[in-house]
Amino acid sequence: MSKIHAAITAVNGYVPDYVLTNAELETMVDTSDEWITSRTGIKERRILKGEGLGTSDMAVHAVNGLLKKRGIDAKEIELIIFCTTTPDFTFPATANVLADKIGAINAWGYDLQAACSGFLFGLVTGASFVESGRHKKVLVVGGDKMSSIINYEDRTTCIIFGDGCGCALLEPNEEGLGVQDSILRTDGAGRNFLGMKGGGSVQPATHESIDAKLHYAHQEGPTVFKFAVTNMADVAAEIMERNNLTPNDVAWLVPHQANKRIIDATANRMGVTLDKVMINIERYGNTTNGTIPLCLWEWESRLKKGDNIVLAAFGGGFTWGSIYLKWAYDSN
Ligand code: UT7
């Protein structure tokens, strides 16, 4: 019997309407459009406004669109892996909330936390359930309402992050298409440089923790930048090498959108020209778990069956990784 591969068979995305521009940020903190653009490549990002709305509400839009596109009912979904750093609640899992909101009554699910590498970790985990034969329809969602943990008085973080959500459906493929290889890594020593100190079991919310602003994302930018450039480029190059892929063989690089300079360095290290790199950081900023599926969604119509695609990410805590997949369908 031939090996079952897990292939992406549909993608979709959603970004909220509100556009937070560099010009508006200039009125909030001491920054400039020139600084933000030259240091990060970001021009604007989306913000989810509205009382009582969380990450799952963006996912509802993304997933309902995906189901419609693929022509399947929510009841057919067997597993939901919700990759997020900003879950609706500490518990229950956002996957549960989403399943309820979309009517995925036959699915089980859980949240996966790997910061900006979450979607890659989720894709590999979801693929394993398909490859093993256990499930035939696995939904991997990546999304964050980063605005819920950003201090809009801190110019070093508030200019980078935005809100958004993307998703992909994994199904079995017997033509050898889909996920081919992956490299996933973690290094918990990185928790000191990018993370959130408050709100967990170590430091539950107290008046003091709120006053100390511990419930906001904390990042030591230059240190994270150094690790991100090296590690994201290394795993992307390593996955090419061990699969004998030359730059010509790679149709697309789909990098996590944290900083345009990190994307450039990764592409450069792989020898891939920028016309083959999915980049939308200028419009959405860093949506954490959302960046990679949002790229796949926006580029979907240009992807061809059999295209070799390399995904690469680096995130808080630290986490990083790369996936090599063969795209499984023509969308037109
Ligand atoms: O997605 C998860 C992984 N995260 C990342 O990969 C992010 C990695 N880090 C970065 O992308 C960059 O480090 C940042 C974009 C966060 C910062 O860029 P940088 O080039 O590393 O700047 P820096 O922090 O070294 O700051 C340079 C200068 C400093 O001023 P002095 O000390 O040289 O006078 C900062 O105070 O720029 C200043 N600065 C700003 N100026 C205007 C910092 N933030 C701002 C700002 N506007 N928003």
Nearest of 68, 5, 69, 56 to residue 289 by alpha carbon: 56
Q: Which atom of ligand 1 is found nearest the CA of 316? A: 2
Q: Same structural domain for residues 153 and 289?
A: no
Residue 161 and residue 192 in one domain:
no
Q: Are residues 202 and 292 in the same domain?
A: yes
List ligand 1's pocket residues with C-beta within 6 A.
Answer: 31, 35-36, 39-40, 116, 155-156, 159-160, 221-222, 224-225, 228, 258-259, 262, 286, 314-316
- The 10s digit of each residue's pLDDT in 186-222 is 999 999 999 999 999 999 999 999 999 999 999 999 9
**Final residue before a domain boundary, out of 161, 176, 191:** 176
Residues 172 and 297 in one domain: no
Ligand 1: which of 25, 225, 257 to mutate, most ligand atoms within 8 Å of CB? 225
pLDDT at 332: 67
Is residue 310 situated within a structural domain? yes
Angle of helix 33-40 versus helix 260-270 axis, rounded to 10: 20
Atom nearest to 259 CA in ligand 1: 11
Per-residue pLDDT band for 167 (boundaries 50, 70, 90) equals: very high
What is the position in ligand 1's atom list of the atom closest to the CA of 221?
13
d(Cα 129, Cα 284) in Å, to the nearest integer? 31
Ligand 1 centroid to Cα of residue 194, in Å, is: 13
Share of the chain above pLDDT 70, in %: 99
Same domain, 76 and 160: yes
Q: Atom 42 in ligand 1: which residue has the minimum CA distance?
A: 31
Segment 6-34, tens digit of pLDDT = 999 999 999 999 999 999 999 999 999 99
pTM of the model as a whole: 0.97
Which ligand 1 atom minimizes the distance to the CA of 261?
11
pLDDT class for 180, splitting at 50, 70, 90?
very high
Question: Does residue 126 lie in a domain region?
Answer: yes
221 CA → ligand 1 middle, Å: 6
Q: How far is the CA of 75 from the centre of ligand 1 (A)?
A: 46
pLDDT, position 158: 98
Domain check: are 194 and 321 in the same one?
A: yes
pLDDT digits 0-9 by tens, 291-318: 999 999 999 999 999 999 999 999 998 9
* Closest ligand 1 atom, residue 157 Cα: 16
Residues 164 and 202 in one domain: no
* C-alpha separations of 165 from 35, 39, 63, 229 in Å: 27, 24, 9, 24
Mean pLDDT of 49-71: 98
| Cis geometry, peptide bond prior to residue 293 (ω within 30 degrees of 0) | no
- Integer Rg of the chain from CA: 19
Q: What pLDDT, on a 0 to 100 scale, did the predictor assign at position 1?
A: 58
Percent of the chain with pLDDT over 90: 98
Residue 331 resides in a domain: no
Closest CA to ligand 1's atom 48:
155
Minimal-distance CA residue to ligand 1 atom 22:
222
What is the pairing mode between strands 218-219 and 194-195? antiparallel
pLDDT at 267: 97
Contacts of residue 207, defined as CB under 8 A and 6 or more positions apart, other chains included, come to none
For residues 252 and 266, give the distance between their C-alpha atoms in angstroms, rounded to a whole number.
Answer: 12
Burial class of residue 204 in the structure, from the number of CB atoms within 10 Å of its CB (0-12 exposed, 13-18 middle, 19+ buried): exposed
CATH number at residue 262: 3.40.47.10
Query: So what's the pLDDT on residue 2?
Result: 74
What's the gap in Å between 76 CA and the centre of ligand 1?
45
In angstroms, the CA 96 to CA 141 distance is: 12
Report the residue among 155, 156, 320 best suited for mutation to probe ligand 1: largest number of ligand atoms under 8 A from its CB. Answer: 156
- Do both 169 and 225 map to the same domain? no
Give the pLDDT mean for 245-274.
Answer: 97
- Domain encompassing residue 127: 5-176
Distance 255 CA to ligand 1 centre (A): 20
What is the best residue among 39, 159, 220 to mutate for testing ligand 1's pocket, by most ligand atoms within 8 Å of CB? 39
pLDDT in tens, 230-256: 999 999 999 999 999 999 999 999 999
Does 149 score more than 90 pLDDT? yes
* Same domain as 186, residue 306: yes
- In this prediction, residue 188 carries a pLDDT of 95
How many structural domains compose the chain?
2
Residues 206, 97 share a domain? no
For residue 286, which of 85, 108, 123 has the smallest C-alpha distance? 85
The two beta strands, 178-186 and 308-315, are unpaired
Dist. CA 157 → ligand 1 center (Å): 8
Residue 331 confidence (pLDDT): 85
In a domain, 285, yes or no: yes
pLDDT of residue 232: 95
Point out the residues that are catalytic: 116, 256, 286
